[in-house]
Chain A
């Protein structure tokens, strides 16, 4: 409570034979808080013969919404106990406001009669997740069909949108991909060297960086960066188009949103990812070489030769192959949440967050599956 504790009570209770009178006094201001209705209800308990709740306003000073809120709350509680409420003695303005507030029948905010048990609270999200999984699978199927139609030249989409998507997922992402992967290569070299120097095997930092970056980290880090960059962007753009009824407009024009909006984005991202990862690999190797030469005092030629010996073609191809899948995952996830976005600005934010979180999760899960798979296949 604010200052209401230190000031005299703004009302006193005056019980009469079958009426409980609430005598309002002094100024009522929101800055002093809204008095609780508890004492009045306790007064009603103490006067069981009271059939009516009424007010006295002589001595009432300036008032604002705090008075109206107090009377409104009190009237609701009193009526719930079967008492009559008489507001006729209130100032005319306050009385009209209370009448206005009470004229609108209360509507339940949520779906009425919703089961609140633990089972229901666990079950509802579980059923929603199940429905989302089914819906996402259907969307994936639709996307694959649209991609096949696009590759066969039968999809209806704007060529310029495809080119834009190539630009957005390729050239525009070079800067951040380069920086992240250069730093990852450098960190990997540094952390590896700290361990390897104990065995006099510092030169093997080159093996660690080359295989680590080309096989795993180049694709993984680029996938994560692209999820935050491109996946989020797709979700926000398509989500906004959904809110603005642009997606509906496409449908009523007989165009399929998955063909027109999703397929070009997925194709562009999946195709640009290997190119980005090839670039990321080079930057990662450069990051490692930079640390090796400048901090670990290894010779440039020596380091490059060791890298060349360590880096079998299969490591590079595995990284590039994975990146193709990661690209597909990032773009499909972003587009899915965008197209399934609700119809408000908040829904766009929610769709974007979900697209990034789910995109990163799926990229990491896919990477784990690939790692096991390649291990089993002795690749």
Chain B
């Protein structure tokens, strides 16, 4: 426990327009941890992630990276903080007008300012790491859903971020592709020490990958449990127990 938190969410309240999605959300993610944000559909898991990666501003509260408040920071500082994390979106969000190599090269060229030849070399390596060697010249429309996810992952980790966010990595994937992606996530953490924040409601992924987790309740509009996923099966909140046991109480 003694290790300081790398990411800390403090008293975060989020909403769209007049509607509050979640309130008083608070948890801490330690370096090298795989942290799961879980909850039923529509509870605001992805919204929470959008607040953590700087896409949506919170109503109140803040997200702290090594003690530094993201939303309290100046615009320029926020851009620096963004370099610390990469994001794999639900449907990979690859740029359809660019090849896979161009997709992965983009942050290397524009954010890190690498010369094109070096960016391409790194992009090839990252694509090879996710098992997509030989697909550098393919466009996103020419590859499968699972390959898109892996290419999105290659792009998210292009700049060797300290933290990787995954929004529903298993969405739309068959069990084998989903399993392969889970293995890849685990390997990334083990080999690079990357901190991983995973938004998911897939029980196998939650139990196999998650070191710690929070549960967001759609009805109560707040987090109702946090801790190790296996231990949360015994959580006093019946909804959390039901969620983690697929209703078999």
Contacts and interface: CB of A to CB of B under 8 A. Distances in A.
A253 B106 contact: yes
B82 A245 contact: no
Nearest to B56: A248
B93 interface: yes
Given A111-B18, A254-B82, A249 B93 contact: yes
A50 B146 CA distance: 61
Contact of B96 (A156, A161, A244, A254): A244
Interface string B85-129: 111011101111100000000110011000000000000000000
Interface in A215-246: 241, 244-246
Contacts of B50: 248
A244 B97 CA distance: 13
B54 interface: yes
Contacts of B95: 241, 246, 249
A156 B18 contact: no
A29 to B, nearest CB: 35
B113 to A, nearest CB: 10
A252 B55 CA distance: 7
Contacts of A255: 106, 110-111
B18 A251 contact: no
Contact of A252 (B18, B54, B90): B54
A158 B97 CA distance: 12
Contacts of B89: 245, 248-249
Nearest to A255: B110
Interface residues of B, number: 25
B52 to A, nearest CB: 10
Given A244-B93, A246-B95, A254 B79 contact: yes
A357 B93 CA distance: 29
A246 B93 contact: yes
A244 B91 contact: yes
Contacts of A164: 97
A344 to B, nearest CB: 13
Q: How large is the interface on A (under 10, 10 to 19, 20 to 34, 35 or more residues)?
A: 10 to 19
B132 interface: no
A254 to B, nearest CB: 5
B54 A251 contact: yes
Contact of B83 (A245, A249, A254): A254
Contact of B53 (A156, A241, A252): A252
Given A111-B18, A244-B93, A249 B87 contact: yes
Contact of A245 (B19, B86, B90): B90
A156 B87 contact: no
A241 B94 CA distance: 9
Interface in B139-162: 155
A217 to B, nearest CB: 35
B56 to A, nearest CB: 10
Contacts of B93: 244-246, 248-249
Contacts of A254: 79, 82-83, 107, 110-111
A245 B91 contact: yes
Contacts of A241: 95-96
A260 B19 CA distance: 32
Contacts of B55: 248, 251-252
A259 to B, nearest CB: 10
From B55, B85, B86, name the one whose CB has the most chain A CB atoms within 10 angstroms.
B55
Given A241-B96, A248-B55, A252-B86, 5 more contacts: A164-B97, A248-B50, A252-B82, A254-B79, A255-B111
Interface of A: 111, 156, 158, 161, 164, 241, 244-246, 248-249, 251-255, 260
11 contacts: A111-B19, A245-B91, A246-B95, A246-B96, A248-B50, A249-B87, A249-B93, A249-B155, A254-B79, A254-B82, A254-B83
